[in-house]
Structure 1
């Protein structure tokens, strides 16, 4: 009996002893990370803005990091069926630094998960960051016919692909807007920050001149006076005044038809915006 008691006491003492090195071992890894390009443009004409590097550092005091790995995963938050896909792994340097190239196939807001698994007594850790990936979708994907034509008996806005302008040119995807009409595009939910479009008088316009307005929530982005032969396209400074949370509206103010004022007809050509919109799969706001 005496021998058994001594053995139990000795075992308890050995479990209570912790070396200084073990006492300093952190409970978990820490991870810091960011993308070196937070606004990729997949429709970039030069092709030089379509990738980014996920860079960061793993820390754990007293733990050798060189040669260890982190695994990275990407989830597109703007796709209805967007699952997590692996980006592979990245090796750590002696200081715990890592870098991994990210080349997305479509637009969206991507959550990037950086995962460092447990190692010995140190618990694993996951760090998540969000990266915006932009495309330039045509705005027919955001068009709201119910808001553009509240009176079905008097439709003032409609698709008019390849309708000739007064100068004889046309644009592939177009809308016709008559005096008193407003084309409404609900771009909210996709972080749209810049737009582009062309506006000109239609060859079918009864008026030889007219005014078109581009606005959001009552705020005018541009007021354009047009006559036959010309068209308007926003400057970069105007195009970057876009708010991501409000519908984009292109309208033609009403004229005094009762007193014989001629109705203007405008062609809105190839309206588009730079948004985190997935161009290949079903989008999710």
Structure 2
């Protein structure tokens, strides 16, 4: 009799675990979500490309969800701290749709989580989408000093902010952040890890260059982006819009000046690289993750 009683209790417990209510609770909500702007430019001159809209729809079979809410969280995975913060809630309309404006405060790749809490016989469900916010950091943050000067005792690439270029009469032909590259030198910038897709820079012959002209090459790996011969006093070079958008986000940017044949009396050229920068998912306020 005791064995029969134990068996009956086990059957009752098993039935409860497999009841329709229990089975329903194991189901999840159906959440569809998207980002309407995956490439925000936080340095946009017009200010019109600095926000995005997180939107989507929640379904729970035939259950009505109008008036229910989802909570939205964002995490900048390109920061070292990777703090998860709440954007608040978004209310579902009669079709289960929602939307929430997101205005990032700094560049980065953002993990956006849409969370629908348990209810209507279903468990808490999370849907994740990704948003990218771009800034234009100066490339000194990516400068590879060791690769730029393999022989530290004879550096060919030096920081030389506001060095005058050209004939010295154009006060605008100098830049707040500059590198001077002498013949045989290469300035190397390791941009990998931040989805950099566009770049800009100024290149000119220094007023103090012994050579009256100089050739400079901008490259990534085996691919030459530009090769220009510049004259002292002839102004500066910068990339066109089309060229600037040809950046490979995974390869270093190298700006190099060919060596001079000093033995035959060829003068050493000195070129100035001014305000090199790139559009990247680099956090301008927080410590970056790399």
Query: What is the TM-score when the length of structure 1 is the normalising length?
Result: 0.91
> Could you tell me how far 1:279 is from its partner in structure 2?
0.4
Query: Are the structure 2 counterparts of residues 50 and 73 from structure 1 closer, same or farther at C-alpha, using a change threshold of 3 Å?
Result: same
Partner in structure 1 of residue 63 of structure 2: 63
Query: Are the structure 2 counterparts of residues 101 and 204 from structure 1 closer, same or farther at C-alpha, using a change threshold of 3 Å?
Result: same
- Contact 2:24–2:121 (8 Å) recurs in 1: no
Rounded to whole Å, the distance in 1 between the matches of 2:147 and 2:118 is 54
Q: Is 2:189 aligned against 1:206?
A: no
Rounded to whole Å, the distance in 2 between the matches of 1:65 and 1:167 is 71
- Contact 2:183–2:258 (8 Å) recurs in 1: yes
Rounded to whole Å, the distance in 2 between the matches of 1:259 and 1:24 is 86
Cα RMSD over matched residues?
Answer: 2.3
Q: Is 2:251 aligned against 1:246?
A: yes
Q: Is 2:97 aligned against 1:97?
A: yes
Query: What per-residue deviation string (whole Å, max 9, x for no partner) do you get for residues 100-127 of structure 1?
Result: 0000100011000100011031122101
Query: Are the structure 2 counterparts of residues 132 and 17 from structure 1 closer, same or farther at C-alpha, using a change threshold of 3 Å?
Result: closer
Q: Is 2:177 aligned against 1:173?
A: yes
Partner in structure 1 of residue 154 of structure 2: 154
Query: Are the structure 2 counterparts of residues 67 and 226 from structure 1 closer, same or farther at C-alpha, using a change threshold of 3 Å?
Result: same
Partner in structure 2 of residue 73 of structure 1: 73
**Secondary structure of 2:136's match?**
coil
Query: Are the structure 2 counterparts of residues 266 and 31 from structure 1 closer, same or farther at C-alpha, using a change threshold of 3 Å?
Result: same
**Secondary structure of 2:181's match?**
strand
Q: How many residues align?
A: 276
Rounded to whole Å, the distance in 2 between the matches of 1:231 and 1:16 is 76
Q: Is 2:263 aligned against 1:258?
A: yes
**Secondary structure of 2:86's match?**
strand
Query: What is the TM-score when the length of structure 2 is the normalising length?
Result: 0.90
- Contact 2:24–2:122 (8 Å) recurs in 1: no
Partner in structure 2 of residue 225 of structure 1: 229
Rounded to whole Å, the distance in 1 between the matches of 2:253 and 2:86 is 36
Segments of 5+ residues of structure 1 without an aligned counterpart are: none
- Contact 1:76–1:109 (8 Å) recurs in 2: yes
- Contact 1:156–1:180 (8 Å) recurs in 2: yes
Rounded to whole Å, the distance in 1 between the matches of 2:114 and 2:94 is 18
- Contact 1:25–1:63 (8 Å) recurs in 2: no
List structure 1 segments (4+ residues) > 6 angstroms apart after TM superposition: 14-19, 21-26
Rounded to whole Å, the distance in 1 between the matches of 2:274 and 2:17 is 77
Query: What per-residue deviation string (whole Å, max 9, x for no partner) do you get for residues 242-267 of structure 1?
Result: 00011111000112111011111001
Rounded to whole Å, the distance in 1 between the matches of 2:106 and 2:226 is 30
Query: Are the structure 2 counterparts of residues 111 and 249 from structure 1 closer, same or farther at C-alpha, using a change threshold of 3 Å?
Result: same
> Could you tell me how far 1:63 is from its partner in structure 2?
0.9
- Of the three residues 184, 187, 202, the one matched with 1:183 is 187
Rounded to whole Å, the distance in 2 between the matches of 1:190 and 1:78 is 8
Query: Are the structure 2 counterparts of residues 26 and 80 from structure 1 closer, same or farther at C-alpha, using a change threshold of 3 Å?
Result: closer
> Could you tell me how far 1:23 is from its partner in structure 2?
9.0
Query: What per-residue deviation string (whole Å, max 9, x for no partner) do you get for residues 131-184 of structure 1?
Result: 111000000000011100001121100100000001432111000000100000
> Could you tell me how far 1:96 is from its partner in structure 2?
0.9
> Could you tell me how far 1:33 is from its partner in structure 2?
0.8
Query: What per-residue deviation string (whole Å, max 9, x for no partner) do you get for residues 222-261 of structure 1?
Result: 1011012221000011111100011111000112111011
